[in-house]
Amino acid sequence: MPAVMTRVSWSELAEIVGKEHLRAATAEDAFDDITPQMVAEPDTAEDLARCLRWARGAGVKVAPRGGGTKLGWGNPPAACDLLLSTTRLHRVLEYAWADLTVIVEAGCRVADLQKTLAEHGQALALDPLWPERATIGGILSTNDSGTLRIRYGSLRDLIIGITVALPDGTLAKSGGKVVKNVAGYDLAKLFTGALGTLGVIVQAIFRLHPLPRERRSLSFGGTPASLNQLLLEFLASKSTPTGLQLRAAPGGAQLDVRFDGTAAGIQAQIDQVQQLAAPSLVPSPAPDDVWLSHQAIWEGAVPALVAKFSVLPAHFAAVCALIERAAAAQSLAWRVVAQSVGAGYVRLEGSEQALRTGLLALRDELAKTGDTKLGGTIVALGCPVAVKRGLDVWGPPSDAQPLMVRIKQRFDPDGTLNPGRFLGGI
């Protein structure tokens, strides 16, 4: 144990959360080959804020944790002494179904929230990874969206209010429980995707959508190039899909399209997209689980690297070609699933050295502004910690990095929260 930690008086923390809710961390709590010392599970937002203030005062470094499904995302932390768990903050506080809004605590699991909302035929229009285990705070902090994004937007478009706990013990709100609201700065957007580096999300308010009346999906087979073209044609048509994704792997690619609405409305749109595809591409009905492909890509042989790329939708085929080339050069297995908004996952399987080299090659090619002009980014999300060491998983910082550092310094001046895990060492 490092010398500085011997001075930490954990009994003070036990007084805040209650002795039975502070325990020594075990191997199961480790992430990125770091084992924190303790795990605290406060029961209220106020107690969580007190924990943070105590940690800051004691020089204890904190990683917030929800369901723990994405704890390995980001750079390995410079230090982590305490896991601050939102497990016990799992309540749905106010479900105003007639207003299509819900106030929920950060530790509520996504599937649990959806179950409550389904009782009134509504949903948070989002299909993030591992909803049975992932929490609201976790999907917000990692900005995890899924296949519904083309129609309903991502978390930033669905969250209308937030409460956060800051390292100085402040509990602060922004937004509110009305959908339309421009009073004050939008802290919900600042905290969405901030990976718990500015504060801990303790509560969120979302706008909701009615569950679809009917739903049908189709899949088209072809090459990445032909399907990328078809995807653009769908986007340029009058159809309004609620899912449009491209899957690719050595040997073939598929384009999946999903429509929600009334039976007649769906049929009209299916007729339309079939006409666009004909005569070269003929669809087959798609099983529901194609819409879990963004989750399935996390499973397979190891060692592996799953990275998220962001590009313009016209560039998917070019990205697939880049991936194929980089994979061939490093003898990597690969597959891709991309949503038409321009965000996708690539999975690479091979040796750790090959994974790292492959990732860096892809990053260089994506960032190029020469003939390809892709101007995209790629972030390594899931990979062995050995691959992460010595590189920034987020990629090179932009000209806004000094501003981001100033934001971090204002919110977390002592670097209490997740030090080093975010872009450029934030």
Partner 1 sequence: MEARILDEFRAIVGAPGLITEREQLSTYECDGLTIFRVLPLAVLLPTSTAEVQGIVRVCHREKIPFVARGSGTGLSGGALPAANGIVISLTRMNRILEVDLPNQRVVVEPGVMNLNVTARVAPDGYFYAPDPSSQQVCSIGGNVAENSGGAHCLKYGFTTTHVVGMEVVLPDGSLVHLGGKAVDRPGYDLSGVFVGSEGTLGIATKVILRIMKKPEVIQVLLAAFNSTNEAGAAVSGIIAAGMLPAAIEMMDNLAIQAAEAAVHANYPDCGGLLLVELDGPAPEVETLMEEVADVCTRCGAWEIRVAQSDAERARVWMGRKAAFAAVGRISPAYIVQDGVIPRTALPYVMSEIVRLSSEVGLRVANVFHAGDGNLHPLVLYDDAVPGQDKLAETLAGDILRLCITAGGSITGEHGVGEEKKKFMSEMFAEPDLETMQLVRCAFDPENLSNPDKIFPRPRLCGEKPGIYEPHPLEIAGVAQRF
Site for partner 1 in 297-336 (CB under 8 A): 308, 310-314
Does 102 engage in binding with partner 1 (CB under 8 A)?
Answer: no
CA distances from 188 to 107, 173, 201, 224, 377 (A): 16, 9, 9, 36, 23
Is residue 76 within 8 Å of 34, Cβ to Cβ?
Answer: yes
Amino acid (one-letter) located at 71 = L
Does 181 engage in binding with partner 1 (CB under 8 A)?
Answer: yes
- Of 39 and 171, the one with the shorter C-beta distance to partner 1 is 171
Which position among 1, 3, 27, 236 is part of the footprint of partner 1 (CB under 8 A)? 236
Site for partner 1 in 16-75 (CB under 8 A): none
- Of 14 and 211, the one with the shorter C-beta distance to partner 1 is 211
Q: What are the backbone angles phi and psi of residue 330, rounded to the nearest 5°?
A: -110, 10
Token pair belonging to 349? 């399987």
Site for partner 1 in 379-408 (CB under 8 A): 379, 394-395, 397-404, 406-407
Question: What's the per-residue H, E or C state across 118-172?
Answer: HCCCEECCCCCCCCCCCEHHHHHHHCCCCCCHHHHCCHHHHEEEEEEECCCCCEE
| DSSP reduced 3-state for 231 | helix
State the DSSP string of 38-86: EEE--SSHHHHHHHHHHHHHHT--EEEESSSTTTT-SSPPS---EEEE-
Does 261 engage in binding with partner 1 (CB under 8 A)?
Answer: yes
Which position among 72, 76, 265, 303 is part of the footprint of partner 1 (CB under 8 A)? 265
What minimum distance in Å lies between the beta carbon of 186 and partner 1? Answer: 6
Does 295 engage in binding with partner 1 (CB under 8 A)?
Answer: no
State the DSSP string of 173-190: EEE-SSSS--SS--HHHH
- Of 170 and 223, the one with the shorter C-beta distance to partner 1 is 170
Is residue 334 within 8 Å of 346, Cβ to Cβ?
Answer: yes
Does 7 engage in binding with partner 1 (CB under 8 A)?
Answer: no
- Of 103 and 113, the one with the shorter C-beta distance to partner 1 is 103
Residue 125 burial class via C-beta count within 10 angstroms: exposed 0-12, middle 13-18, buried 19 and up: buried
Find the part of the chain contacting partner 1 (CB under 8 A) among 1-9, 30-38, 93-101, 133-141. 93-101
Strands 82-85 vs 62-65: parallel, antiparallel or unpaired? parallel
Number of residues that bind partner 1 (CB under 8 A): 87
- Of 172 and 329, the one with the shorter C-beta distance to partner 1 is 172
What minimum distance in Å lies between the beta carbon of 250 and partner 1? Answer: 25
What minimum distance in Å lies between the beta carbon of 213 and partner 1? Answer: 7
Is residue 134 within 8 Å of 144, Cβ to Cβ?
Answer: yes
What minimum distance in Å lies between the beta carbon of 1 and partner 1? Answer: 27
How crowded is residue 11: how many other Cβ atoms within 10 Å of its Cβ?
A: 9
Site for partner 1 in 110-169 (CB under 8 A): 121, 143, 153-154, 156-157, 164, 166
What minimum distance in Å lies between the beta carbon of 272 and partner 1? Answer: 8
What minimum distance in Å lies between the beta carbon of 178 and partner 1? Answer: 4
Which position among 11, 28, 238, 279 is part of the footprint of partner 1 (CB under 8 A)? 238
